[in-house]
Amino acid sequence: MSDLNTQMPSGDDVTQRHDLKPAFSHDLFEQVLQRKNLQTAWNRVRANKGADGINGMTLDEFPAWAKAGHWKTVTTDLESGQYQPSPVRRIEIDKPDGGKRQPGIPTVTDRVIQQAIAQVLTPLFDPGFSKHSFGFRPGRNGQQAVKQVQSLIKEGRRFAVDVDFSKFFDRVNHDLLMTHLGRKVQDKRLLKLISQYLRAGIIDNAFYIESREAAPQGGPLSPLLANIMLNSLDQELEKRGHKFARYADDFSSLAKSRRTGERVLRCISYYLKNRLKLVVKTTESQFLGFTFRAGCIQWHPKTQLKFKQQVRRLTNRNWGVSMRFQLFKVNQFLRGWINYFGIAALRRSG
DNA sequence: AATGATCCAAC
RNA sequence: AUUGUUGGAUCAUU
């Protein structure tokens, strides 16, 4: 209540605590449902041009549906705790490296609600995340993570602990995640809603699958929840002085000795269970599409192969369009690609 | 200062 | 057909 405000000392302390807002944390559910917040959430969902969820409603159909009074029903249900999120629609997409990913597509309505939640929770949680965490976070990107690894190697750390947490999110303890959320979210209604999203389930070819453990990927809230889960890992490693960079579920820690590297592994063993874990020389390490050899950041061989294949696909001209348009497409492609992988060419000091 | 579209990458 | 976050490039508009 407002007595929390009266506890705030006047003077210097206030400026140091400007990022903490205990007086508002009970109020988060209202913040989520603010008209302006919902509007920007919808704008984002629409801009993504995503596919329809399990109820088959497309982005084009949504505005009319919402205007017809259905959105009013949704908000009143949300406020009364009666709202039930729909299961996600499971799809399968090929990864560039040949593997498969199976994200779930929430309905348009649920995407708007999740996005609205994410917009409120991100400013609450992101400032508390580790400076060594680079994935899915505002103002941060993969290049920064790669450069971080590069500079750690330059400090003489020759051993890389390479870990892939990609299967980690298939088995996430919902209670533990809710505990982490509860540290900053006091609003019980919001906690309950997020919990419902975790358990909403999956429809795979008309068959319903429970989601008692999995953290379904594909919703606007999912990346933030992933970072909240692995933030405890980051904090633990930092407390012990280990040096690392994490980009979502891709992780690399650099150590000066194999022994220290193995200590890192023990530290994160809870998160690993039986999953892939390695301590290798940094020259054999790979991270976010790059390798680190002779003090340089280089393209990973797989990245080079992918690049060549893409260029060949674009320059194969059996697809009767004008030369001019084709040239435009190739230029567009090269611009974006070089923009990301261009850092390999720079940074050859060391 | 905004906001709309196209595209690229990481996961 | 293919969801999502984040970063970036380009173009366009008041």
What pLDDT shows up at residue A344? 61
pLDDT digits (tens, 9 = 90+) for A82-92: 999 999 999 99
- Residue A271: pLDDT band with limits 50, 70, 90: confident
**How many Å apart are CA A265 and CA A141, to the nearest integer?**
25
Name the protein residue, with chain letter, whose CA is nearest the C1' of B11: A248
What pLDDT shows up at residue A163? 86
* Range 142-171, chain A: CB under 7 Å to any strand B atom: 142, 166
* Range 21-60, chain A: CB under 7 Å to any strand C atom: 44-45, 48-51
What pLDDT shows up at residue A24? 56
3-state secondary structure of A179: helix
**How many Å apart are CA A22 and CA A2, to the nearest integer?**
10
CA–C1' A4–B2 (A): 37
Lowest mean pLDDT segment, chosen from A185-199, A216-230, A320-334: A320-334
Beta-strand runs (E) in A48-110: 88-90, 93-94, 100-101, 104-105
Mean of per-residue pLDDT scores for chain A: 85
**How many Å apart are CA A107 and CA A86, to the nearest integer?**
7
CA–C1' A336–B9 (A): 8
**How many Å apart are CA A274 and CA A97, to the nearest integer?**
22
DSSP β-ladder status, A250-255 and A159-164 = antiparallel
DSSP bridge pairs for A89: A105, A203
Q: Is pLDDT of A19 > 50?
A: no
CB A247 within 8 A of CB A137: no
- Residue A8: pLDDT band with limits 50, 70, 90: very low
Lowest mean pLDDT segment, chosen from A24-38, A173-187, A300-314, A330-344: A330-344
What pLDDT shows up at residue A320? 60
DSSP β-ladder status, A202-204 and A88-90 = parallel
Q: Which nucleotide lies closest to A332 by the C1' atom and the CA atom?
A: B7
The residue type found at A117 is: I
- Residue A334, both tokens: 């090269």
What pLDDT shows up at residue A155? 93
* pTM to 2 decimal places: 0.85
pLDDT digits (tens, 9 = 90+) for A131-153: 999 999 999 999 999 999 999 99
A288 CB inside 7 Å of strand B = yes
Q: Is pLDDT of A113 > 90?
A: yes
Report phi then psi at A293, rounded to 5. Answer: -130, 140
| Protein CB footprint (7 Å) on chain C nucleotides | 1-10
Name the protein residue, with chain letter, whose CA is nearest the C1' of B6: A332
A126 CB inside 7 Å of strand B = no
The residue type found at A302 is: K
CA–C1' A143–B8 (A): 14
- Residue A23: pLDDT band with limits 50, 70, 90: very low
Name the protein residue, with chain letter, whose CA is nearest the C1' of B9: A340
